[in-house]
């Protein structure tokens, strides 16, 4: 299934950029076009389990995601249940002078009907995820 990497530069310090990208509690409020619903199931230290309704590549995915944060340099998301079980998202934050570089690795896996839908539709997951990152960046830079 789709596997891709992206790199972005954000004109803001790493702590602030990390806070916006890793604060899944606000996803529904700040980018509802990608996350119409987010419900926290469990939080313990730097690990959280979150029920998410994610729209990506024209598909509506219902997932259970485990967010693991190592502030301020790494945010990983492991899909532990739902339509994209086994998928992984890794966001690495590198401090630059007056900016932050974000390195993103995405490994999408689909099961059942979602796999068939992803295979036969012209879904461009990389472009859609890139647009989602751009929405986060607009927020981080303002």
| Span 18-64, pLDDT tens digits | 999 999 999 999 999 999 999 999 999 999 999 999 999 888 999 99
Look at residue 131 and tell me whether its pLDDT is greater than 80: yes
How many angstroms separate the CA atoms of 104 and 9, rounded? 11
More confident residue, 74 or 123: 74
Please name each of the domains of the chain with its CATH number.
3-141 (3.30.530.20)
In sign, the C-alpha dihedral spanning 31, 68, 43, 80 is positive
Global pTM exceeds 0.75: yes
Token reading at 83 = 């339509």
Look at residue 122 and tell me whether its pLDDT is greater than 60: no
For residue 114, the number of C-alpha atoms closer than 13 Å in the C-beta half-sphere is: 21
Residues 6+ apart with CB under 8 A from 4: 105, 106, 125, 126, 129
How many angstroms separate the CA atoms of 56 and 44, rounded? 28
The length of the chain, given as a count of residues: 142
Look at residue 117 and tell me whether its pLDDT is greater than 80: no
């Amino acid at each position: 299934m789709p596997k891709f990497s992206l790199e972005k530069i954000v004109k803001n310090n790493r702590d602030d950029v990390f806070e916006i990208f890793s604060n899944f509690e606000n996803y529904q409020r700040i980018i509802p076009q990608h996350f119409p619903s987010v419900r926290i199931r469990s939080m313990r230290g730097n690990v959280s389990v979150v029920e998410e309704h994610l729209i990506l590549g024209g598909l509506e995915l219902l997932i259970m995601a485990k967010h693991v944060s190592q502030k301020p340099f790494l945010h990983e998301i492991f899909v532990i249940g739902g339509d994209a079980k086994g998928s992984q998202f890794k966001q690495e934050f590198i401090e630059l002078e007056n900016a932050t570089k974000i390195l993103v690795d995405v490994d999408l896996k689909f099961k059942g009907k979602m796999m068939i839908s992803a295979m036969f539709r012209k879904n461009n997951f990389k472009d859609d995820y890139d647009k989602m990152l751009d929405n986060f960046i607009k927020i981080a830079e303002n």
